[in-house]
Amino acid sequence: MTTATVRVDKNFRIGAIDRRIFGSFIEHMGRGVYGGVYDPGHPSAVADTGFRGDVLELTRELGATTIRYPGGNFVSSHRWEDGVGPLENRPRTVDLAWRTVETNAFGLHEFMDWTDRAGVDPYMVVNLGTRGPGEAAALVEYCNVAKGTTLAELRQKNGAADPFGVRLWGLGNEMDGSWQVGHRSARSYGEVAGQAAQAMKLVDSSIETVLCGSSNMTMSTYASWEAEALDAAYEHVDYVSLHQYYDPEKYDEQSFLASACAMDRHIEDVIAAVDFVRARQRRQRRIHLAYDEWNVWYQSRFREPYEWSSMSDGPRAIIEDDFTVRDAVVAGSLLMTLLRHADRVRIACQAQLVNVIAPIRTFGATSAWKQPIFHPFALTARHARGDVLRPELSAPTIDTDRFGPVPAVDVVATHDETDGGIALFAVNRSRQPITLHGTATGFGRLAVTGHQALADDDTSAVNTPENPLRVRPRDLPITSAEAGNCRQTLPPVSWNLITLAPAAP
């Protein structure tokens, strides 16, 4: 059997894990909100809220820590004021992004209530498409000022006596994209975003702000956009965003399984652009990254909204992809890549949470169910604690059309100082089983305590309402060698979690 070796040393530390790396995303798009998190007529709906109880339960199980809202493209023509106050007084408005009628039944207060119940932190995005710094600052005032202003008193009148205390704010969405309402040049956007961030922080100095990076790596202005926009806004922003989706149908299977190579390059490119601006402006403070839209997406199947012939009077199903075992292996490897860059990637949001290219799906009156991509995210969020370590890996290679030869195995490790445990996350990209020989040094005596793998003889297998557990992690036998080492078999095309804990003397 083919083998790979990995060595983990306590001193080879990349950085501490920011729990916000396990974020997700909700947008008023398709059935993400209406029929997703909000469905008053569903049997599981929480009384007096309309929130789907089964989706809330799965969100907690997923382990999401931060939710980006309300967009996405939706935000660039959105007026937050339309979603506050009595439901009967809220206007029905046109959503220019997805060409639907927005009822505003799920608005700002509903979102904040939902985040409280889900146990997640809000990551609010402001509209810099059709609005500007004044409106952005007003939203911060409404959300975060305790009392004494007209907007604070309006929030209280609308039912929230205490401020929401939103700490993380996005400065628009994909403002380099021609599809975005109000899109701009890099310099123009950077100036407006810097002004908005300055005004917002004058209202509440404790907040952090995220500047829009390129919409994806194929944009003609990629990298130069980051440099020009940040050059205008550096003083007032804390993060630069990255967006990228990975399409199973654009590449050969081996290249798709190695999609994390593209994500690695994306992160390194943006770090280079950001640090160039820091050096050019001779600044000490480093700007970190927020990879706040990432996922597998069958994007080549998506019919763009501008091709739709008519406005929809309600939510319609959009990009409700059925994810496979192979997709889940890739999604798990992408999350591993984010961990590997924990020194600079502090925030990440898998897009999206429910129905829209999502780990959670709903259908009519049935219970919500988990897509295969749910499982690597949930297990990583649960077990990746403390510090990310840099493993030394030796593995056979596989040939890909897009990336050339790449390691057949990818590995990242985390160490929790509080209990001494190690979590080893490993992907086998090949069609053959691979035995992973692991050695851990500097931790004392360790023993392998578990090995869970997401794999299947049919890599195209999916979960459905009728068979929601078709694809799920399986416990594999522990075949560890002497204390401190492990020798585990990684199934073909698999995502794996191997846990180690201090061994008894």
> Which positions are annotated as active-site residues?
174, 293
The DSSP-derived string for 113-170 is HHHHHHT-EEEEEE--SS--HHHHHHHHHHHH--SSSHHHHHHHHTT--S-----EEE
Taken in order 319, 324, 326, 332, is the CA torsion positive or negative?
positive
Strands 93-95 and 66-69 come out as unpaired
Cα(265)–Cα(404) distance, integer angstroms: 14
Any bridge partners for residue 123, and if so which?
68, 168
CA end-to-end span of the chain, whole Å? 33
Cα(493)–Cα(432) distance, integer angstroms: 8
Verify cis geometry, omega within 30 degrees of 0, for the bond prior to 352: yes
CB contact at 8 A, 322 and 328 = no
Residue the block writes with tokens 């994909």: 174
Q: Which ranges of 6-63 does DSSP label H, i.e. alpha helix?
A: 53-62
CB contact at 8 A, 245 and 297 = yes
Tell me the two tokens of residue 44: 């599981």
Cα(125)–Cα(193) distance, integer angstroms: 12
Helix, strand, coil percentages in the chain from 3-state DSSP, rounded to 5: 30, 25, 45
Tell me the two tokens of residue 227: 């440099």
Rounded alpha-carbon distances, angstroms, from residue 403 to 216, 257, 315, 374:
18, 11, 39, 27
